[in-house]
């Protein structure tokens, strides 16, 4: 039953993402039917680049257009959040098509913290559970509600959005993007984990140096790895 629900959800997301990609495409239009990328060994090459060299069509197989990794949840973090990203890196058939996907699972009470995607609009579908979901527009107005199973929500490109599981079971969300490389910037990590000058942060948020240090230990990947 759950497998059928996931299949229907993915079909709907593919259709919606296809329409969004046509009207709001943020990636270059493809110049051929498809481009299954050749394996790249250079560490300096961007994994999501749309100008990867293509395999010869004689080398392409049906398996290049199939992805089975959304059947189960990803690895949960200590905070109870798991994701399975789907992009040309693990699903070659998506290359140059201007779309990508993600499966997100949230244990009861866990969150997907405020973040945004600089290069894509996101369409989400709640497969299971109850999730408080929303986004904030450029006028600082919040659009949010508790989503029920089967409902969808769209997060406009570049706007901060968030999710929190307010139900009693693990929630499952499937989402589609109109870019194969939507990018992601999580607000807490951007502010406190990027190395912004501490004095500036103190003045911007009215925090003490000690408080800034506490946040940096939590969100700075270099400092958190030392503890």
Binding residues: 112, 115, 117, 122, 161
Q: Are 180 and 88 in contact (CB under 8 A)?
A: yes
Cα distance between residue 202 and residue 194, in whole Å: 15
**Which residues lie closer than 8 Å to 213 by C-beta, 6 or more apart?**
198
Going by the annotation, the residues of the binding site for oxalate are: 112, 117, 122
Going by the annotation, the residues of the binding site for Mn(2+) are: 115, 117, 122, 161
Report the C-alpha dihedral over residues 138, 144, 150, 154, rounded to 10 degrees.
Answer: 0
Scanning the chain, the segments in alpha helix (DSSP H) are 2-24, 187-192, 198-205, 209-219, 221-224
Supply the Cα-derived Rg of the chain in whole angstroms. Answer: 19
**Whats the size of the chain, residue-wise?**
227
């Amino acid at each position: 039953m759950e497998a059928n629900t996931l299949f229907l959800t993915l079909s709907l997301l593919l259709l919606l993402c296809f329409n969004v990609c046509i009207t709001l495409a943020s990636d270059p239009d493809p110049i051929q039917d498809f481009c299954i990328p050749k394996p790249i060994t250079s560490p300096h090459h961007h994994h999501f680049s749309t100008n990867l060299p293509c395999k010869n069509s004689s080398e392409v197989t049906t398996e290049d257009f199939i992805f089975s990794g959304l059947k189960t949840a990803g690895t949960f973090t200590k905070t109870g959040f798991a994701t399975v990203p789907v992009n040309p890196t693990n699903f070659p058939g998506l290359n140059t098509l201007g779309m990508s996907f993600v499966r997100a699972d949230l244990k009861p009470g866990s969150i997907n913290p405020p973040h945004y995607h600089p290069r894509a609009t996101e369409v989400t579908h709640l497969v299971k559970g109850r999730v408080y979901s929303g986004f904030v527009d450029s006028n600082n107005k919040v659009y949010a509600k508790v989503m029920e199973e089967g409902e969808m929500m769209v997060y406009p490109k570049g706007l901060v959005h968030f999710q929190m599981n307010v139900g009693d079971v693990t929630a499952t969300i499937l989402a589609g993007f109109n870019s194969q490389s939507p990018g992601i910037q999580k607000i807490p990590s951007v502010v406190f984990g990027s190395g912004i000058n501490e004095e500036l942060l103190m003045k911007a948020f009215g925090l003490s140096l000690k408080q800034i240090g506490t946040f940096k230990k939590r969100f700075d990947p270099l400092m958190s790895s030392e503890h």
